[in-house]
Amino acid sequence: MTALNNKKLKKLLKSKSRVKIEQNPDMFYKEFLKSTLFIPVIAVGDEDALEDGDTLDLQIGFFDEDNGDRNIYLFTDTNELEKAGYQIKSIAVNMMELSIILSQFDMDFNYIVINPYSVDSYKIDFDEFLDKNNF
């Protein structure tokens, strides 16, 4: 699996850094948008039937929570993926590119959750995220 270097973003996500994020959200978004994170994906079609040269269509995986929220999960590294306690198929994607993709979705989401299984997980309101990126 691809190794990602998101040390600055992970440092910002630490509980003790939350005040910095609240006081200067632009600093957070600047670091977030230049990051590459893992996003869960679901294969559309039969993966086992693929042959050399075939392509596989992928769909972004989202999570419907018990409270009715529909969230997108992102992971800063493989250690954070492993905290889920079950296998998650994922791809590494640049957040600026992902923000463009997400702005074109017809589906409503509530939050983007970074490292959802971590003590330092962080929720971003989806509409605020789109507004910050001028979509």
How confident is the model over 101-115, as pLDDT tens digits? Answer: 888 888 889 999 999
Q: What's the rounded Cα separation, in Å, for the pair 42 and 122?
A: 23
- Distance between CA 56 and CA 66 in Å, rounded? 31
User: How far apart, in whole angstroms, are the C-alpha atoms of residue 110 and residue 130?
Assistant: 11
Per residue in 51-88, pLDDT tens?
A: 676 666 778 889 999 999 999 999 999 999 999 988 88
Q: For position 68, what pLDDT does the model report?
A: 94
Full strand arrangement of the beta sheet holding 57-60: 57-60, 36-44, 90-94
Least confident of 38-42, 44-48, 101-105, 106-110: 44-48
Pairwise pLDDT comparison (45 vs 125), residue with the higher score: 125
**In order of start, what are the domains of the chain with their CATH numbers?**
7-44+58-132 (3.40.1350.90)
Q: Are 41 and 99 in contact (CB under 8 A)?
A: no
pLDDT for res 47 = 60
